[in-house]
Structure 1
């Protein structure tokens, strides 16, 4: 947390402190966001045993959450462009945290499925608007680094979810894991009510478009080639990350013979270290590449994804568990390298008045064709063949995602003037 003052851009101490407070709260909420998502991955073996569900049904627990989240996100973005965003953040966090706790009370597959769906509604009120708040607190030349700091919460939160879910499930029960996961969000949701509400476009200059009719914004977004090419690459990356994150602990337990708690903790540790280093490196390198050329961060992201694909495939070819985790760590480093640059490119290439909706639409796309379907599809492939084969196939979308981001990098300079 000591790095926050270094990336803060507002000129006055008070503004600096308020921006830092908002960034801190939003980042911690993002951490809890991913903790609550991935508790279920480590708790899955216990859930399957107690509720008697197969791999396809287990994958559906991930899919139903994502489906509800993605469908509700454009609505969250639409509201975020028209009302104080901190209230959407606070309300969303409180709702999903209560639903996480309620997941621990589930005694049947259908009640657990319903609780996971409600979590998706709560997260939709947060996910679409948080990047737009950050973009109004920090200038464009710092956004990649600041958003990278915000997205550090993804690997750390996912790792915490794996670790907490695995430890609580093996020590107590999977029910207790969900109870513990719901508590932090209740605190952070309350604190979010006290965040600053920055003026839209405050860091984009006096000519920035801060008000726009919805139809006008939608027409402009429809013709924004850089936005759509970036979204395609992001979607393919999300498909593979979602599938890998959901099934890798179960693969290590069922196929490689690791103890349930150990698999979750080990995969969580690898995710935390690789994701933290990759996200920080991506923020620093993305800013440097963007200063050299428009779309430089996207260029770096495309190369990173194309390099990650063979490592994802290799991870399940190695007999040694240590070697498998080491290779998957390299793949995750290259995947998380892209968190800051991709999201900075999205907020930079659309007008401030339409950023929340653009983020919400992006969320809809990346999940509708990404991790909304990958847990269930990979589970289905595993039921028909093997989990090893399913994870091997999962490396292919990463390769194509990298190619899409290379195309987006070429189109990026055309979209920048439209943000004004």
Structure 2
């Protein structure tokens, strides 16, 4: 028991007016981020037909992007703790948008792989630093809700990628789908140059250190059990949903006999609706639970994954198409509950001066053992058996991820600001 007299915490600083502009631009960029990622999924059957590639080779289109993205992310995080973060965001968005447009110019499978790799480099400059910018624009008691708003872009962007990619591929060609996908990012990359650059730790308790020697920060992160338990759960979840997001439109077209544009549209609409509702609910509930106890929102994320796993398994075993889509929607709602809480937990359990690198390292981990390998592995299992069997097995990582997040919630402690 501490003998130090209780001292009232100073009131949380209020976000600036320009914080709303930055949140709006970063959220739109995140939307385009996932739109560009998932155009390839809805265009995949047409790409397979043009280049004559099998499922295993097709999975490489997802894997090569993720491998480059995850390897470059720690570097992006390292730079994000040391140079103006808005510059990393702006340059990264412009680079990946140009690479998306260049994907449409690909005349061979190898050329398309190279273009997807450059998309990964561009996204790494953005993905690691955006949550740290938001955490420095909004106080801790608002971060889960604000980050949930930011992560709403994931299901909406993915849905737009499925829908736009499916429609343009069917109506024109997969090349046109990539051309269209690159345009919005060029505009947003320019707008990112005008975002505010908040002081690191600006919305944390007074006295937070804004610079930290890299070795010191790395040593603290190595012993941060909550960070690693959360990252483990996030990795298991990412393995499963990353692979499923890549293959589900193809599964519906080839295993269920649905037309390609209809499969992409329906799956995209379900992802947008269930993801939007789940993300908003997770942000609201996460903030309420975090006020009751540290790690409350993270515990809710774990429960969400435990509920999602059986839904994922059952969905592909239902004969009724409406029942299958309803069960997929339920699974996605439970999965997207964690979008805000799990990322808020990561930034809150790490000192402000080391947040961007911690996010970059988290990105490396969740993709290295997550969706960098799952599209290819699912494709391999599908080649050996069928897509239905491959998708069934992906309920297991979600289940294990839920248990890992519950452990992280028990270990969770908000990082104390270190002295200057």
* Number of residue equivalences: 408
Separation of aligned partners in 2, 1:353 and 1:148: 23
Aligned equivalent of 2:148: 148
Aligned equivalent of 1:263: 263
Q: 1:163 to 1:207 in 2, by over 3 A?
A: same
Q: 1:235 to 1:66 in 2, by over 3 A?
A: same
CA apart distance, 1:396:
0.3
Aligned equivalent of 2:98: 98
Separation of aligned partners in 2, 1:323 and 1:89: 41
Separation of aligned partners in 1, 2:43 and 2:322: 22
Separation of aligned partners in 1, 2:142 and 2:118: 35
Separation of aligned partners in 2, 1:137 and 1:68: 29
After TM superposition, the runs of 4+ consecutive aligned structure 1 residues lying more than 6 A away are: none
CA apart distance, 1:320:
1.4
Q: Deviations over 1:300-354 (max 9, x none)?
A: 0110000000000011001111111110000000000000000000000001100
Separation of aligned partners in 1, 2:86 and 2:278: 29
Aligned equivalent of 2:283: 283
Q: How does 1:276-355 map to 2 (within 5 A)?
A: 276-355=276-355
Aligned equivalent of 2:83: 83
Separation of aligned partners in 1, 2:255 and 2:374: 19
Q: How does 1:372-387 map to 2 (within 5 A)?
A: 372-387=372-387
Please, what is the CA RMSD of the aligned residues?
Answer: 1.0
Unpaired stretches in structure 2, ≥5 consecutive residues: 1-11
Contact 1:349/1:419, CA 8 A, preserved across alignment: no
Contact 1:305/1:335, CA 8 A, preserved across alignment: yes
Aligned equivalent of 1:19: 19
Separation of aligned partners in 1, 2:102 and 2:400: 39
Q: How does 1:207-286 map to 2 (within 5 A)?
A: 207-286=207-286
Unpaired stretches in structure 1, ≥5 consecutive residues: 1-8
Q: 1:419 to 1:318 in 2, by over 3 A?
A: farther
CA apart distance, 1:418:
6.4
Separation of aligned partners in 1, 2:66 and 2:321: 30
Contact 1:350/1:419, CA 8 A, preserved across alignment: no
Q: 1:111 to 1:419 in 2, by over 3 A?
A: farther
Aligned equivalent of 1:416: 415
Q: Deviations over 1:111-142 (max 9, x none)?
A: 00000000000000000000000000000000
Contact 1:162/1:268, CA 8 A, preserved across alignment: yes
Aligned equivalent of 2:199: 199
